[in-house]
Structure 1
Amino acid sequence: MLVINYSMLGGVYFASLVNFATASLLTLVFMFGIWVVQGMIGNKMLQLYPSHRQALKRVVVFTSINLTLVAMLITFLCWLYGNFHLLGFEFTFTSWLRCLIASAIITIVNQAIYETESSFRRIRVSQLEAEQLKKEQLQTQFDSLKEQVNPHFLFNSLNSLSSLIATDPEKAEEFVEEMSRVYRYLLRSNEEQLTTLQREIEFVSSYNLLLKTRFGEGFRPEVSVAEPFRDCLLPPMTLQLLIENAVKHNIVDPDMPLTVRVFTEEGKLIVSNNLQKKNKTVISNKVGLSNIIAKYRLLNYPDIEVSETADEFRVVLPLIKNKD
């Protein structure tokens, strides 16, 4: 506004407070109308050319319309000032052209600022939408992984119960009681993304009793977790899946006992078992270990470490600090 008035009136614009206020007020009234119209046109341009690929076309069309509107406004202002001899202004081609060039430069600069700000705003909105979509996709995948655990665990539990009913009805009754405790935890934890290590340990204690009932001295669990780490977090069912994985792929027999150790070392949780693979290939749907790896990745936590030697299979799990 100041530049337009100065290009039109020169030093007269700043000669007195009356001149400055009069010219500024007149120009402001007309410029406000132009700003409103420009805003409406800008929104329409975004609707017509929303894609980034159409940005150049949108800028060219919008700038052309803006320059036309501003040229019309400047022409009218020059005519108004000259026709009524306002502030000593005379409408000549030179004065009109000078005002037109000044207003065109201002319009192009304003257009560039508007397009830059608008582009950053659209990019930010796109990023937020992409992040939200990614979060929803990860949540869907995570829920899908959790749903795979229930039928898998139930299938193995019912197989164990079926074997016990035929061989030892009393142990079968004890097995059902322990299985009910396990499923109470399972149903509760299925709605959570993380649980405390203490709760996991309590849960696998019941789960280990189920395995001890089935395998006797063939299965030897050892849990030794330092107290300060028991409040740390990890995905629910992690320990159960690792223990189940060890039992599934190794010989479990009193003559060849399977020892599964759960302990902490250097701030990490370690689950290991002695390696004595079954001779017969075990059919696996890969829900166990791959499920745990996927959970940590979906939650954006450090990957777990898996290693195998001739005598031992080991999984190192990062413990998540409990902020509460």
Structure 2
Amino acid sequence: MQPDSRKKTDILLMVALMPPTLIALNYFMLGGVYFSSFKNFCIASAVSLSVLLGVWIAQGMLAKKMLQLFPSHRDTVKRVAIFYSLNLAIVALTVTLICWIFDLFNILGFRFTAEAWTRCLIAGGICTIVNQAVYETEISFGRIKASQLEAEQLKKAQLQTQFDSLKEQVNPHFLFNSLNSLLSLIAIDPNKAEEFVEEMSSVYRYLLRSNEEQLTTLQKELEFIESYNLLLKTRFSSGFQPVIRVEEKMKEYLLPPMTLQLLVENAVKHNIVDPDTPLTVQIYTQDEKLVVINNLQKKNKAVVSNKIGLSNIIQKYNLLKCAGVEIKETVNEFSVVLPLIKNTK
């Protein structure tokens, strides 16, 4: 929830919950005297309100701090327990202060006794439980709405990635080059031509299925990129040289699907790929991160690019609350460092 929206919600909650809290506390403290006249009602309410407003603000600040310390929904029980315990202490002090003020200034004949203090404390405790229940319910609904929105945004980003990737692969230029490569292989190496068709089929199958999951394992991404690399190696021969060095233990880590394909495609699109000046794309893991790096040999004619691929990757990581994508370009190299997400299943 945005800060402005959160502030408006807090004000609405205060407007809705403050009056019944004020009335309950005064009635338990003063009894029927509170409602005996409009004057009595206004005097008692004004005195109590002056104290409760300050307390309410303090409780709001405390609630905000608790959300910062325990932001996850898994910490709800711990946060509520701590928040409620602190709130009870605040309520006890508040009730004591209000009773003392009423007794000190002899407001409506009130006398500070153990019985009166206990009644007020019970009323304050009940109001605190009700108010906190309402607050926690509102927080839960807010989180559900935020989660649904983020899920929709992530789904949209995945569909956009799939569409962009599929559009790139089925455009006439790609099909022409692929069919040309296949035609040459059929003539000189039928077995390799059959392998080429199988790998091409794997590429399209993965592209079509990639929108079914928000995350995929690094193992699956590597299997896909092996097929994709074979198509590129068939097309560019020794001009394209992929190097993959991934630790076995990292293969079960997660990342958004199609990430590697976008980065390899980006490298091929913007650089010269030739046997005399081969393009080397390295993929390796380091400190629970995936590094994709290629030597930089930009084409003489600049390639038109809207950088959707890289933006899409960054957007996905942001939606997954896993920011930290690093993009670096030097005179000789272009690199992208991606955080890998631990698989908890």
Band of TM-score, shorter chain: 0.5 to 0.7
In 1: Cα distance, 2:236 partner to 2:224 partner: 19
The yes-or-no answer on 1:52 pairing with 2:1 is: no
Letter in 2 for 1:109: L
Letter in 1 for 2:183: P
The yes-or-no answer on 1:250 pairing with 2:271 is: yes
Q: What is the correspondence of 1:232-311 to structure 2 with a 5 Å cutoff?
A: 232-311=253-332
The yes-or-no answer on 1:71 pairing with 2:32 is: yes
Which stretch of the first structure deviates more once superposed, 153-162 or 106-115? 106-115
What is the Cα-based RMSD across aligned positions, in Å? 3.3
**2:216 counterpart (176, 195, 202):** 195
The yes-or-no answer on 1:158 pairing with 2:158 is: no
Could you say which structure has the larger radius of gyration? Answer: 1
1:60–1:164 Cα change, 3 Å: closer
The yes-or-no answer on 1:132 pairing with 2:132 is: no
Q: Once the 2 structures are TM-superposed, how far is the Cα of residue 219 of structure 1 from its aligned partner?
A: 1.6
Q: Once the 2 structures are TM-superposed, how far is the Cα of residue 133 of structure 1 from its aligned partner?
A: 1.5
Aligned residue for 2:212, secondary structure, equals: coil
Cα deviation per residue 1:142-191 (whole Å; 9 max; x = unaligned)?
10111012221122212311344467635597655422211222334422
In 2: Cα distance, 1:268 partner to 1:167 partner: 35
In 1: Cα distance, 2:181 partner to 2:229 partner: 19
Which residue number in structure 2 is paired with residue 221 of structure 1?
242
In 2: Cα distance, 1:267 partner to 1:60 partner: 54
Q: Does the CA-based 8 Å contact 1:259-1:274 persist in structure 2?
A: yes
Q: Does the CA-based 8 Å contact 2:294-2:334 persist in structure 1?
A: yes
Aligned residue for 1:264, secondary structure, equals: strand
TM-score, scaled to structure 2: 0.63
Q: What is the correspondence of 1:87-236 to structure 2 with a 5 Å cutoff?
A: 107-159=119-171, 160-165=174-179, 169-170=183-184, 176-236=197-257
Aligned residue for 1:261, secondary structure, equals: strand
Q: Once the 2 structures are TM-superposed, how far is the Cα of residue 261 of structure 1 from its aligned partner?
A: 0.7
1:56–1:219 Cα change, 3 Å: same
Q: What is the correspondence of 1:17-36 to structure 2 with a 5 Å cutoff?
A: none
Q: Once the 2 structures are TM-superposed, how far is the Cα of residue 312 of structure 1 from its aligned partner?
A: 0.5
Q: Does the CA-based 8 Å contact 1:272-1:313 persist in structure 2?
A: yes
In 1: Cα distance, 2:182 partner to 2:343 partner: 43
Quote the sequence identity (%): 46
Q: Once the 2 structures are TM-superposed, how far is the Cα of residue 104 of structure 1 from its aligned partner?
A: 6.4
* Moved >6 Å (runs of 4+): 64-68, 101-104
Cα deviation per residue 1:205-255 (whole Å; 9 max; x = unaligned)?
101112223333322111122223223222221211111111122222333
TM-score, scaled to structure 1: 0.66
Q: Does the CA-based 8 Å contact 2:178-2:231 persist in structure 1?
A: no
Q: Once the 2 structures are TM-superposed, how far is the Cα of residue 298 of structure 1 from its aligned partner?
A: 1.9
Which residue number in structure 1 is paired with residue 36 of structure 2?
none
